[in-house]
């Protein structure tokens, strides 16, 4: 199996690195598009709770939305009528993504941040300013791909990947 962009970057590190290091590594690479990432990685038919997920989405009420993200990068929170609630990191500027991911680390099941780590996002996180900016309701009927699972050891890479595709507006308008 060909190496993913996550594997390529993780293979060059020998331990924990700064977010700035991950950002620079992602910038140096020719990053495949969102759909290619989803197709080449470990994907599931449903969102995997406790890790980040990337998927294609076509909102039901897109004609009434000022803008929306066609490829959400989310941390699923809980089941909801017809789908689930998730935190879409693409609605935050890069610096705020880093800050929010750091805040979320206190909800990790362990401090290894590896493939066994999961996030239990209950109690207290709802009061975060970033939470309110990026909480979204996603409907299963509007999902247009499988879900690429991005594990904790890959999240620092995932938040820097240039895969957000906003329709109806640019990131500067959001």
What is the rounded distance in angstroms from the CA atom of residue 58 to the CA atom of residue 72? Answer: 10
The CA distance from 4 to 9, in Å, is 9
Provide the pLDDT for residue 81.
Answer: 95
pTM above 0.85, yes or no: no
Tell me the per-residue pLDDT of 30-67, one tens digit each, with 9 for 90 and over: 666 788 778 777 788 999 888 899 999 999 999 999 99
Decide: 98 and 17 in contact? Cβ < 8 Å. no
52 touches 158 (CB < 8 A): yes
Residue 163 β-bridge partners = none
H helices present in 29-124, as ranges? 34-40, 94-104
Taking the C-alpha atoms of residue 27 and residue 163, their distance in angstroms, rounded to an integer, is 12
Distance, CA of 71 to CA of 105 (rounded, Å): 24
What's the domain range around 165?
A: 5-11+18-173
Q: What percent of the chain has pLDDT over 90?
A: 35
**Angle, alpha carbons 132-160-152 (nearest 5°):** 75
CB 160 within 8 Å of CB 31: no
Q: Quick check: 110 pLDDT over 60?
A: yes
CA 101 to chain centre: 10
How many residues are present in the chain? 174
| Number of domains forming the structure of the chain | 1
């Amino acid at each position: 199996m060909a190496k993913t962009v996550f594997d390529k970057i993780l293979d060059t590190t020998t331990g924990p690195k700064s977010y700035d290091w991950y950002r620079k590594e992602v910038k140096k690479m020719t990053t495949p598009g969102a759909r290619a990432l989803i197709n080449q990685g470990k994907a599931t038919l449903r969102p995997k709770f406790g890790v980040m997920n990337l998927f294609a989405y076509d909102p039901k009420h897109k004609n009434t939305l000022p803008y929306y993200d066609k490829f959400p990068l989310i941390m699923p929170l809980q089941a909801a009528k017809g789908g689930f609630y998730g935190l879409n990191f693409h609605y935050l500027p890069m610096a705020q993504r880093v800050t929010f991911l750091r805040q979320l680390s206190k909800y990790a099941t362990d401090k290894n941040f590896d493939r066994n780590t999961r996030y239990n996002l209950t109690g207290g996180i709802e009061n975060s300013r970033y939470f309110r900016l990026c909480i979204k309701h996603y409907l299963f009927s509007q999902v247009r791909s499988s879900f690429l699972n991005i594990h904790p050891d890959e999240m620092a890479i995932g938040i820097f990947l240039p895969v957000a595709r906003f329709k109806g507006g640019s990131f500067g308008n959001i």
